[in-house]
Every structure is written in C-alpha cells, then in structure tokens.
Structure 1
Amino acid sequence: MKKIILAVAFLATFLVSNAQDKPSKVKFGVKGGLNLSSVILEEEYDATSSSKTGIHLGLFTNIPMGKKFAFQPELLFSMQGANQKVDYEYRLIEADNRLNYLSVPLNFQFFVVKKVFIEAGPYFDFLLSAKGDVVVKNNYINDTSTIVENGKNLKDYYKPVVFGVNFGGGYHINDKISVNARYYMGLSPSDSSAFSYTYETLSTKNRLFQLGVGYTF
C-alpha cells in the first residue's frame, strides 16, 4: 500500500509541477452529500447483503493542471456499512453494521466541456469506528435460543485501512457551486471476517455510491 501512495503522490506532484497555462489558481472548498453503501461478499456461504444510507462531509482542494485537467484531493468523513444476513451451520446471523471512515479520494479531473467534468482516481479509507446490531438465532433441534447484541463494537473485526478506486463526473453550476456523482469500488478486504465472533472465513469488500454538492471559497 505504501508503494501505491508514493506512486500517486509522485504522479500528482509531477503533473502539477509540469502544468502549463493554468486557467485559474488553486481553489479550496467544502462538500457534502448522500452515501449509499453496500458490500460484496467474498465467500460461498448462503449470505445476502443490502445497502445502507449515510452522509459524507469534508474539505477539498482543486489544483488546475492546464485548461482541461485538474487534480482534486479530498478529506471526508464518510458513513458507510451494510445490512447482512448469513445462514451458517444451523445459525441465522443478521447484522446491521455501521462504519465511519476518514476517506481520502485523490481524483484527476478532465473537463469535457467548460463546466462538465469526469473524474477518477484511487482512494484510501481510514476506519474511525465500527458498530453493529447483531442477532444470532440457533436452529439446532434442542436449541432455539437467540442472542441479541445492540451497539456491539466491531472495530477489532475490521481492517484499519482499505483502498480502492473511484470514478464519476460532475457539473459546475457556477463559480462557487458544483455537483457530482461517484462510485467507489473497494479493492482490499474491509474486514478480517465480517462475523468473526461467530465464524471465521467470511470476507467483504466495500462498495459506495455517492452524490455530493461542493462549495468553493
């Protein structure tokens, strides 16, 4: 992962230092909006997952790199997670997992026309907290007990850092306000085992659709 971070930092530095005919100065702003998050289940269990809604909020810097290109790093608080259900060895496990990340997308933008752009780049998510409401139902012949844990701290079961790629596009309504849509695709597993406290091998990768509004100072 360190090599990836260094490669992205080197590429951004090189492009910015070699940019010519910058159309404007470096800009700073704030942004926020809606998250629709889910996970991809990696193992072959009878498992399903449904999406959760959340928000994102943070800061961005837009660095022009010529008339058509820009580099935009961001620092966002991002609410993610998923609802999961798994049938495993006579147990039905249901979990409403809520994850909070410090998200760092590093996007390169290309302006198709003056106000419309497409963008893509890597991102890194740093886990801030992970909690869940967990229900475990035993289906043995002589045991139909149910275990319920609300607000269970799951941080120890999730990776502290995950990374992936994101891509999307946006539109500048005016010099101050812009809107954008993105899709985030996790490339590294987000947890050591989504239900590690009940069994050992289920792994997931994050997925996120994001709608945002930005304000440039």
Structure 2
Amino acid sequence: MKKITLLFSICVMLCCSLSQAQGIGYGFKLGANISQINSFSFDIVNTAGDTPREGFDTLESSNLGFAITFFAEIPLSERLAFQPEFMFSSQGNKFEGLRYEYLQLPLALKINLNKLFINLGPQAGLKVSAFEQSEDFSSFEFSGFGGLGYQFTDNFFAEVRYTIGFSEVFEDDAAIELPTFIAGSNETNVDNVLTNASGKNSYFTISIGYRL
C-alpha cells in the first residue's frame, strides 16, 4: 500500500507541475523492449525428489516485448527540458513464467543538441501483470535510464534507451513453477520449481515517437 501511495504522490506532483508550466509539448512513443533479468541467479529443485528435468534453456534468454509511452515536455531553457512520462512496459526473460508488465513513471532530463537529444533520469514502476505472480515477484521497482534520440522533423523522432533496475525482481521466498511437457501426453509436469532467485531488470527500448 505504501508503494502504491508513493507512486500516486509522484503522479500528483507531476500534474501540479504541468498545470503551472508554460509552453508544454505532448506526445507518445511506440517501441520494442529487448529485456533481460540482469545478474540472474537461481536454483531449480524438484518437489517430488527427482533430479530437476532438462528443458529450461530459455530461463536466461532475453525477451522481446513492447512499450507504449505518453509524455509531456516542459522547457527549462533553450536546450534543457523536463520530460515526465507514463509508460506501459513488458519486461522479463524469454521463459513464459518470467515475463511480466509494469506501469512505469520515467522522469527525464532532456538535453537538446540540434537534431540529436539525450535524456536520462530515475524511474519508478508498479508491476501490473498476472495476479498469480504476486507472491513471487516484487510489485514495485526503482531504476535509472539513459537514452539517445534523433529528431527527424518537428513532430517525428526515434530513440534508443537503456534502463537498469536497482531493486530486486523477486520476493525473498519466491518459488516459481517450471512446468514441462510429459512425453507422449498433453499433460505437464509441475514438480520443478525455481527458488533462491535473484536479479534486477534491464532492457533496451527502441522506439519511434510523435510530438504534438
């Protein structure tokens, strides 16, 4: 509850800033996320007492997801702007049980260099994916990002951004089922469990955007 209250408070402060600022620009971005759980470590145990089965080669593989972002651009000077954003972001690894989505709140300082621009800042996120993940995955994350973009016209631009998490993805007592298909049937075996998991989010976002 405290984490949700913090995220809501940040949103309120942003709204207050937007209501008082002059010359604000607005826009949106559509992009692809190439994500991975950084410094990922874990154990696999079999609750039936057997040797953990094979077939988990995608546990550490990166995932291709998507991101949708709405932003406001508040000029601070000729070359500097404050750019608060509201983003839906799919993240995690390739294995289905390690994919999840966040509502993110990036707070960017944007540096304009003619056609090129740089943005960097902190980011707070709230996990909004499947309810059954709530016991194993942290609901809140804090991260930082840096990006480089190019302004093709007054309206259209492209951007590449890298985000790295500072908080743990998993709860301390996470026990994530790793189902495998049973040979010769349509049933799955759920005796395999990922435990002692540790890692932080990291991802590249490649996006195109339109400034109103």
- Provide TM-score, normalisation by structure 2: 0.71
One of 177, 202, 207 as aligned partner of 1:212: 207
Aligned to 1:59: 70
* Residues 49-198 of structure 1 mapped to structure 2, 5 A cutoff: 49-83=60-94, 96-111=97-112, 113-130=113-130, 153-193=132-172, 196-197=175-176, 198=193
> 1: CA distance between counterparts of 2:99 and 2:92?
5
> 2: CA distance between counterparts of 1:75 and 1:190?
20
Distance 1:42 1:194, change over 3 A: farther
C-alpha offsets along residues 141-189 of structure 1, whole Å, 9 cap, x if unaligned?
xxxxxxxxxxxx3232111110110001111111111111000000000
Is the Cα contact below 8 Å between 1:194 and 1:204 reproduced in 2?
Answer: no
> 2: CA distance between counterparts of 1:203 and 1:214?
34
- Provide TM-score, normalisation by structure 1: 0.69
C-alpha offsets along residues 78-122 of structure 1, whole Å, 9 cap, x if unaligned?
1111036xxxxxxxxxx64220111111110112x2121111100
Q: Matched residue of 1:188: which SS?
A: coil
Distance 1:121 1:27, change over 3 A: same
> 2: CA distance between counterparts of 1:54 and 1:43?
22
C-alpha offsets along residues 30-81 of structure 1, whole Å, 9 cap, x if unaligned?
1111110001235475996110001111210011110110111111111111
* Residues 37-56 of structure 1 mapped to structure 2, 5 A cutoff: 37-43=35-41, 49-56=60-67
- Larger relative strand fraction: 1
Runs of 5+ in structure 1 lacking a partner?
18-23, 85-94, 132-152
Number of aligned residues: 173
Q: How far has the Cα of 1:200 moved from its partner?
A: 4.1
Q: CA-atom RMSD, angstroms? A: 3.0
> 1: CA distance between counterparts of 2:194 and 2:60?
17
Aligned to 2:24: 26
> 2: CA distance between counterparts of 1:199 and 1:97?
10
Q: How far has the Cα of 1:199 moved from its partner?
A: 5.5
> 2: CA distance between counterparts of 1:68 and 1:40?
34
One of 192, 197, 200 as aligned partner of 1:202: 197
Distance 1:194 1:103, change over 3 A: farther
Q: Which has the higher contact order (CA 8 A, sep 6+)?
A: 2
Aligned to 1:142: none
> 2: CA distance between counterparts of 1:28 and 1:79?
23
